[in-house]
Amino acid sequence: MAIVKLQRPKLNFGEKIYFGALIKGFFLTMSHAIKTLRGKSVGAESLASSGLGITMQFPEQRWDEHMPEYYRGAPALVTDEQGRERCVSCQLCEFICPPKAIKITPSEIPSDDPWAKVEKRPLEFDIDMIRCIYCGMCEEVCPEQAIYLRKDYLITGLKRADMVHDKKKLYEIGGTRVGLVNKWNELK
Amino acid sequence: MSDTPSATAEMKSPKSQAAEKGLVNVQIDGVWHQFPKGTRMIEACRQAEVIVPHYCYHPKLTSPGNCRMCLVQIGMPPRPAPGQEAPLDENGYEAIVWTPRPVIACANTVSENMGIRTRGDLVEKCREGVMEFLLINHPLDCPICDQAGECRLQEQSVQHGRGISRFVDMKVKKPKNVDIGPRIRLDDERCIMCSRCIRFMDEVAGDPVLGFTQRGTHTTLTVHPDRLLDSNYSLNTADICPVGALTSNDFRFQMRVWFLKETPTIDVNCGTGTNITVWTRENKIHRITPRLNDEVNSAWMPDSHRLNFHFIDSEARLTEPLTRITDTPSATFQPITWNSAISHAAAQTKAIPAAQTAIIASGRMTNEELFLTRTLAAEIGTHHLSLVPRFADADALLVAADRNPNTTGAKMIFGTDDPYEKLDSIRDGVRNGSIRSLIILGEDVITDANFTDTDLGKLDFLLQTSVLANPTANQAQIVLPSAAFAEKRGSMVNLSGRLQRLNRAVEPQGQSHDDWEILRDFILALSGDKNEVYHIEDVFKALAENVTAFNGLTLSKIGHQGIEIVDTGYQIPLLTNERARQAAGLING
């Protein structure tokens, strides 16, 4: 009962030799080719075309300014307007990270440091960019607004060690972020 | 019909049935239970497996009732009018009239026909109110607080908290990051004034140095002005602190607790055999905490024992078998393979007559290892077998004078009352040249047994197994790296005759082997037999067949709480104190 017999559509002679459809397709392709050569491809402008068709000539041409606001690139650590490193090494990102790309070694802030009241900061903070899947969970889970996915997407290296972003590199990518919640203010 | 059990039960009311056993009937969340008279309501709820959130109550401490978190609703039967009988329901219980006012479960005791509600609107509202008060001044420190992940305040605030504070004023400022003792750090802002630490230091540790000053929201936990929290039991206060007010300096900012794996095992620093939990991540031990065992250590452990684990991955750790390069005058060693190390050792041992060979074993070895040591002595044919005694002052709580964890086991396995007896004769033998070959298992005889470099220099052959590099190993021809206490399985018998189990929390470092495997390989190399022992369970089986006290036991039968196998009459002082407080009705956990 599970077998249902279908009636194949009846084709006439013209359809059976499929020559008409072939020629139709050929003309469609040619019309696009001519449009490309005349520099009039559809969507060339919005897709940052290099001039021929809609192809972008990477890496000479970048699509950076066309990147959407929500683009998720390399995760990075940020400092705030007071120059304080915001990460307190709570290790929640390390815990949540699905591919286990993050490794943090916590440390105590010495008592002579101006930010001694924060008590804790990372000694080492490594993100293995071979493992990172750019999911943004670390940004979402961070209780201190310290880790953000930036728009950097060109993460390359010649060996595995090059692909591990250490703390210095992460702050370099992250830079300063202003307008965040200032929890460790003078009242704290 | 009348003599069937159900009919008999009908004749007697639940009240008189319970009274015969000295119990009372209590209804908890609609289910009737029986408890001894004088049981605290919170204990009754715990035994009935009903959770009552609490902060200040600890089963091993008195109940001051100051956190108010354990508020529950109670009910009693109404008092009947004179001459009237109280109406009974179909099960024989009196009807309960619920009081509109909640009571704290930790400081009130159960009574006959009482009802306790741990759920419902009234109780939920109370908990929400208490949580809101507790969180008024609590700092938002969770990301930097070591307690996060095992914090009662975090847990209850998820369950009963509001999410958003209605409080508009500034939070009260209190001292943070206070150094109150060598091993403990205090953060007063996080403190919720449960007073567990104060009561612990007073009632259990017997060193009342902590107390509250100021009043109201300014109440501050502090240490006595001229004193420090430097008791050898101070780290227990960090364990029982429900929040992150007291934290351990040793564990401070090392690792978040949610990464750690817990392994139940026992402590090997003295004959008490304190039950512990080892917390590890990725083959590294991060901390050790006491594990509840009412027959050994209650819920506590001394700091000296707790912190003695850093040696396991220290610089001095031996990670590969070494052989001494004899040509050079100063002691230099080179690594060799296990196979050649064992076969060299066996060949050298065989070359020297049995009467001139001695074995010095360790009271820190497990029963299985001691049993194999006995087998080894028999295989060699020597009677020179001794342990190294390790005695120091006992404290009046948990630290025993005998710092060897398995003296009782050694006595049973060697079948002697004094396993240390022959140490002096072995030392004399080494000095006068009648002993030419020495096998030292896990001991540093230069540091701990009055041997000198010259004594050991006289020997023709010295084999040493050890966890760490030490002066004795420096004199040895062959050094075999063995496993530390957290790296091996096995069993030990504590001073009160309790057989307890060690579990493996981390893998042995580098190429080091379990001690029982080293002994097995060495015995097989000496005898030339084929191996038939593959698991530690096989060794325990052989032990159980050969030593009467262990008959019929297996490693898995020991369980996590241990089994008493011999009555030695030894009393752990801390337990004596605890039982006295129990008898006085101060605690009933």
The answer on B329 and B449 residing in a single domain is: yes
The answer on A126 and A100 residing in a single domain is: yes
What is the pLDDT, as a whole number, of residue B310?
95
Domain that holds residue B202: 170-313
The answer on B485 and B407 residing in a single domain is: yes
Task: Quote the CA–CA distance of B525 and B544 in Å, as a whole number.
Answer: 24
Give chain B positions within 8 Å (CB) of A138.
none
Domain ends where: B290, B313, B336?
B313
The answer on B221 and B81 residing in a single domain is: no
Is B144 within 8 Å of A107 when comparing Cβ atoms? no
Is B252 within 8 Å of A108 when comparing Cβ atoms? yes
Is A92 within 8 Å of B143 when comparing Cβ atoms? yes
The answer on B532 and B383 residing in a single domain is: yes
SS (H, E, C) B426-450: HHHHHHHCCCCEEEEECCCHHHHCC
Any bridge partners for residue B261, and if so which?
B280
What is the pLDDT, as a whole number, of residue B510?
93
| pTM, rounded to two decimals | 0.90
Task: Quote the CA–CA distance of A101 and A184 in Å, as a whole number.
Answer: 28
The string of DSSP letters for chain A reads ----PPPPPPP-HHHHT-HHHHHHHHHHHHHHHHHHHTT--TTTTTTT--SSTT---TTTS--GGG--TT----EEE-B-TT--B------HHHHH-TT--EEEEEEEPPTTSTTGGG-EEEEEEEEETTT-----HHHHH-TTS-EEE-S------SSGGGGEE-HHHHHHHH-B--S---TTSTT-
Q: Is B79 in contact with B113 (CB distance < 8 Å)?
A: no
The answer on B561 and B452 residing in a single domain is: yes
What is the pLDDT, as a whole number, of residue A47?
73
The answer on A73 and A52 residing in a single domain is: no
The answer on B461 and B548 residing in a single domain is: yes
Is B132 among the domain residues? Answer: no
Closest-approach residue (CA) in chain B for A91: B256
CATH number for B62: 3.10.20.740
Q: Is B79 in contact with B100 (CB distance < 8 Å)?
A: no
The answer on A52 and A35 residing in a single domain is: yes
Vertex B170: Cα angle to B167 and B174 (nearest 5): 120
Kindly give, in sequence order, each residue whose CB lies less than 8 Å from that of residue B216, ignoring residues fewer than 6 positions away. none
Cα torsion for B408, B413, B415, B421, to the nearest 10°?
-60
The answer on B330 and B303 residing in a single domain is: no
Report how many Cβ contacts below 8 Å link chain A to chain B. 35
Is B539 among the domain residues? Answer: yes
Give chain A positions within 8 Å (CB) of B254.
106
Q: Which of B140, B148, B170 sits opposite A187 (nearest CB)?
A: B170
Is A108 among the domain residues? Answer: yes
Task: Quote the CA–CA distance of B185 and B235 in Å, as a whole number.
Answer: 10
Least Cα separation, residue A143 to chain B (angstroms): 7
Is B255 within 8 Å of A106 when comparing Cβ atoms? yes
Domain ends where: A30, A58, A86?
A58
Vertex B160: Cα angle to B155 and B163 (nearest 5): 90
Distances (CA, A) of B224 to A44, B188, B206, B229, B237: 78, 15, 14, 9, 16
Q: In this predicted model, what pLDDT tens digit does every residue of B165-183 receive, in sequence order?
A: 898 888 999 999 999 999 9
Is B423 among the domain residues? Answer: yes
The answer on A160 and A111 residing in a single domain is: yes
Taking each helix axis as running N to C, give the angle between helix B367-380 and helix B407-414, from 0 to 180 degrees, rounded to the nearest 10.
40
B256 touches chain A (CB under 8 A): yes
CATH number for B430: 3.40.50.740
The answer on B366 and B304 residing in a single domain is: no
Query: Which of B146, B147, B253 should we substitute to test contact with A (largest number of A Cβ atoms within 10 Å)?
Result: B253
Is B256 within 8 Å of A107 when comparing Cβ atoms? no
The answer on A85 and A26 residing in a single domain is: no
Query: How far, in whole angstroms, is CA B343 from its chain's centroid?
Result: 39
Q: Which of A95, A106, A117 sits opposite B258 (nearest CB)?
A: A95
What is the pLDDT, as a whole number, of residue B343?
95
What is the pLDDT, as a whole number, of residue B233?
96
Q: Which of residues 265-324 of B touch A (CB under 8 A)?
A: none
Distances (CA, A) of B470 to A7, B130, B305, B318, B448: 90, 56, 21, 10, 11
Domain count, chain B: 3
Model confidence band, residue A1 (pLDDT cutoffs 50, 70, 90): low
Task: Quote the CA–CA distance of B195 and B211 in Å, as a whole number.
Answer: 8
Give residue B359's identity as a one-letter amino acid code: I
Closest-approach residue (CA) in chain B for A87: B143
Longest Cα separation, chain A = 92
Query: Which of B144, B186, B189, B248 should we substitute to test contact with A (largest number of A Cβ atoms within 10 Å)?
Result: B144
Give chain A positions within 8 Å (CB) of B139.
188
The answer on A51 and A97 residing in a single domain is: no
Domain ends where: B277, B295, B313?
B313
B259 touches chain A (CB under 8 A): yes
Is B397 among the domain residues? Answer: yes
What is the pLDDT, as a whole number, of residue A49?
76
Domain ends where: B313, B338, B361?
B313
Q: Is the dihedral of CA B77, B81, B85, B90 positive or negative?
A: negative
Q: What is the CA radius of gyration of chain B?
A: 30
What is the pLDDT, as a whole number, of residue B327?
60
Least Cα separation, residue B254 to chain A (angstroms): 7
Give chain A positions within 8 Å (CB) of B259.
91, 94-95
pLDDT at A2 over 60: yes
Is B142 within 8 Å of A118 when comparing Cβ atoms? no
Helix boundaries (H) for B180-336: 196-199, 235-240, 303-306
The answer on A52 and A71 residing in a single domain is: no
Is A36 among the domain residues? Answer: yes
The helix or strand, by DSSP H or E, that contains position B573, with its residue range, turns out to be: helix B573-583
Kindly give, in sequence order, each residue whose CB lies less than 8 Å from that of residue B224, ignoring residues fewer than 6 positions away. B209, B210, B211
Is B543 among the domain residues? Answer: yes
Is B143 within 8 Å of A88 when comparing Cβ atoms? yes
Least Cα separation, residue B509 to chain A (angstroms): 21
The answer on B364 and B464 residing in a single domain is: yes
What is the pLDDT, as a whole number, of residue B2?
44
Domain count, chain A: 2
Give chain B positions within 8 Å (CB) of A119.
144, 177, 253
The answer on A100 and A155 residing in a single domain is: yes
Percent helix / strand / coil, chain B, rounded to 5 = 30, 20, 50
B148 touches chain A (CB under 8 A): yes
Of B208, B205, B206, B207, nearest in space to B233 by CA: B205
Domain ends where: A58, A76, A111?
A58
What is the pLDDT, as a whole number, of residue B1?
41
B261 touches chain A (CB under 8 A): no
Give chain B positions within 8 Å (CB) of A143.
142-143
Query: How far, in whole angstroms, is CA B417 from its chain's centroid?
Result: 28
Q: Is B312 in contact with B509 (CB distance < 8 Å)?
A: yes
Is B151 among the domain residues? Answer: no
pLDDT at A102 over 80: yes
The answer on A78 and A28 residing in a single domain is: no
Distances (CA, A) of B215 to B219, B220, B429, B536: 5, 8, 70, 59
Closest-approach residue (CA) in chain A for B140: A183
Is A106 within 8 Å of B170 when comparing Cβ atoms? no
Range with the poorest average pLDDT among A30-34, A121-125, B184-188 = A30-34
Is B256 within 8 Å of A187 when comparing Cβ atoms? no
Is B127 among the domain residues? Answer: no
The answer on A74 and A53 residing in a single domain is: no
Is B253 within 8 Å of A88 when comparing Cβ atoms? no
Is A88 within 8 Å of B142 when comparing Cβ atoms? no
The answer on B109 and B239 residing in a single domain is: no
Is A108 within 8 Å of B254 when comparing Cβ atoms? no
ipTM for the assembly:
0.85
Closest-approach residue (CA) in chain A for B138: A188
Distances (CA, A) of B40 to A93, B74, B486: 43, 13, 38
Q: In this predicted model, what pLDDT tens digit does every residue of A133-143 receive, in sequence order?
A: 999 999 999 99
The answer on B535 and B418 residing in a single domain is: yes
Domain ends where: A9, A26, A58?
A58
Domain that holds residue A90: 67-174
Q: Which two tokens stand for residue B265?
A: 């095992």
Is A188 among the domain residues? Answer: no
SS3 call for B263:
strand
The answer on A40 and A99 residing in a single domain is: no
The answer on A148 and A91 residing in a single domain is: yes
Is B165 among the domain residues? Answer: no
Q: Give the number of other CB atoms < 10 A from CB of residue A157.
A: 12
Q: Which of A90, A187, A188 sits opposite B143 (nearest CB)?
A: A90
B172 touches chain A (CB under 8 A): no
Is A179 among the domain residues? Answer: no
pLDDT < 50: residue spans in chain B: 1-4, 7-9
CATH number for A163: 3.30.70.3270
The answer on B183 and B111 residing in a single domain is: no
